[in-house]
Amino acid sequence: MYNDNPTINNLKDKSVDESRQGEALDLKTPNTEGGKKFYIESYGCAMNFSDSEIVASILSKEGYSSCTTFTDADLILINTCSIREKAEKNVRQRLRVFDKTKDKKPGVLVGVLGCMAERLKTKFLEEEKLVDMVVGPDAYRDLPKLIAEADDGGKGVNVFLSREETYADISPVRLGSNGVTAFISITRGCDNMCSFCVVPFTRGRERSREPFSIVAEAQDLVNRGYREVTLLGQNVDSYKWKNPETEEMVTFARLLEMVAQVDPRMRVRFSTSHPKDLNNEVLYTITKYHNICNYIHLPVQSGNSRILELMNRTYDREWYKERIDKIYEVIPDCTISSDIITGFCTETDEDHKDTLSLIEYSNFILSYMFKYSERPGTIAHRKYEDDVPEEVKKKRLTEIVDLQNALSLKSNLKDVGETFEVLIEGDSKKSADEFRGRNQYNKMLVFPKNEGLKPGDYVFVKVRDVNSATLLGDIVKHHETFNA
């Protein structure tokens, strides 16, 4: 999944944004009045946002409490993304702003975390003089040590990727949380080598987290009132864990079932599925449990088999179509979303038309759409020329976005008059008199509040009006659990 903003997940044209804007994350940590304060800003995919919660947990044990204004902080952290050039530019711009704070408050430490830290390593310290720490995604346990070194006037770097680290024993401190939906990381890293992608270099080999710690985390969330979890990984369907005692293999389908059984009131989502690994067992598991959402994010990247081969996606157009057919056969009401890269090396107008036709065939409710951005060190950078002119990339992107918006609107129009079970996530963005929440199909609904209802409650909402991003409706009844 590359979900720029998975919790918001609006169907708007947000999908062409480079990455989710940095966000100050509010942290409810134990009371550490008078102690040191940290501020963390996260960019990139949901995995990074989830990692920031692990970082918060590590720091809270060191007596740090969070703040939401960086000028108040003793430690400023920026959790970075390298996926496209623009994502990295955003981070550099942000660092210029932090520069000014450092001028005013000399004791403040600035740390760069995440994928850009791993990609640039010590080069970061050479290029960005104000940065005190560079910490890669597998090295967050070292943060206290690196902070101590930096406090002593040194510069701390740890960017070694690990084959074992899953942070399974760290209980994330939920940041900026709505108290209803949460992410649970189930794998780290990626073993696929999509030729355009920097992630295998910044996040290392794939590791699956021990399943009982995942179930325990889900149980803990339910106990604290959460009602939805999203299982996260670059390629969740390749999750596998062998029980060292029984030799039993836990597959993704089995894990999904284990998490679904934690509590029928808790919805389960997952992201991202890779078309080569999404198997029928997963589809049957989705149908078996009411609380597993009938929604799959299945990035296609391109609709042309030659381009897919150059991308090293290991499936072709026909394979993808077969997966789509199977999803709609097993789960007829399932909604599907996608990621698309336009203007990859050697892509012709005809190849581009194949992408348009596959989007139409698949009937995606939403896509995250990007112009190809060459990343240093990737296979595509080494082997192929980034030869599609910028104007052509732009034009093709516009065509893809227009088509996707039309499909999103068409899909939403079909929902007018329908009633959906919706989990209330909080106030709507526009008005405190309205709630917002999603149905299982990952569509956002906005509806007037009813007395006595609160985030975390389920309600039935009848759709009255739509646009391409949102369904507008009215509550017709509410209940406490799925099965009530």
Q: How far does Cα 98 stand from its chain's mean position?
A: 26
3-state secondary structure of 461: strand
Alpha helix segments (H runs only) across 139-265:
143-151, 199-203, 211-223, 252-260
For residues 476 and 484, give the distance between their C-alpha atoms in angstroms, rounded to a whole number.
Answer: 15
Sites for ligand F3S among residues 83-102 (CB under 6 A): 83
Amino acid at 478: H
DSSP characters over 201-231: HHH-S-EEPPHHHHHHHHHHHHHTT--EEEE
Query: Please, what's the b/e burial string for 89-128 (b: 16 or more CB within 10 A of its CB; e: otherwise)?
Result: ebbeebbeebeebbeeeeebbbbbbbbbbbbbbeebbeeb
Contact map string, positions 195 to 214, toward ligand SAH, x by CB under 6 A: -xx-x---------------
Distance CA 408, CA 75 (A): 42
311 binds ligand SAH (CB under 6 A): no
200, interface contact from ligand SF4, ligand F3S, ligand SAH, none, CB < 5-8 Å by kind: ligand SF4
The one among 6, 44, 111, 303 contacting ligand F3S by CB under 6 A: 44
Choose one: 198-206, 280-288, 322-330, 384-392; the region binding ligand F3S (CB under 6 A): 198-206
Binding site for ligand SF4 (CB under 6 A): 190, 192, 194, 197, 199-200, 234-235, 274
Q: How far is CA 220 from CA 209, 259, 426, in A?
A: 17, 12, 21
Nearer to ligand F3S, 199 or 334 (CB): 199
- Which residue minimizes CB distance to ligand F3S? 44
234 in contact with ligand SAH (CB under 6 A):
yes
The two tokens of residue 265 are 């009131």
Among ligand SAH, ligand SF4, ligand F3S, none, residue 375 binds (CB under 5-8 Å by kind)? ligand SAH
Q: Which of ligand SAH, ligand F3S, ligand SF4, none binds 370 (CB below 5-8 Å, type-dependent)?
A: ligand SAH
**CA–CA distances in Å: residue 71 to residues 24, 32, 98, 100, 398:** 12, 18, 8, 10, 39
Residue nearest to ligand SAH (CB): 2
Q: Is 237 in the site for ligand SAH (CB under 6 A)?
A: no
Among 47, 278, 400, 463, contact with ligand F3S (rule: CB under 6 A): 47
Instruction: Provide the sign of the torsion angle of the four alpha carbons 31, 36, 42, 47, taken in this order.
Output: negative
C-alpha 304/C-alpha 21 separation (Å) is: 31
Minimum Å distance from CB 47 to ligand SF4?
9
- Residues touching ligand SAH, count (CB under 6 A): 19
State yes or no: residue 317 binds ligand SAH (CB under 6 A): no
* Sites of contact with ligand F3S (CB under 6 A): 2, 44-45, 47-48, 81-83, 114-115, 198-199, 202-203
* Sites of contact with ligand SAH (CB under 6 A): 1-2, 83-84, 196-197, 199, 234-235, 272, 274, 299, 301, 339, 341, 370, 372-373, 375
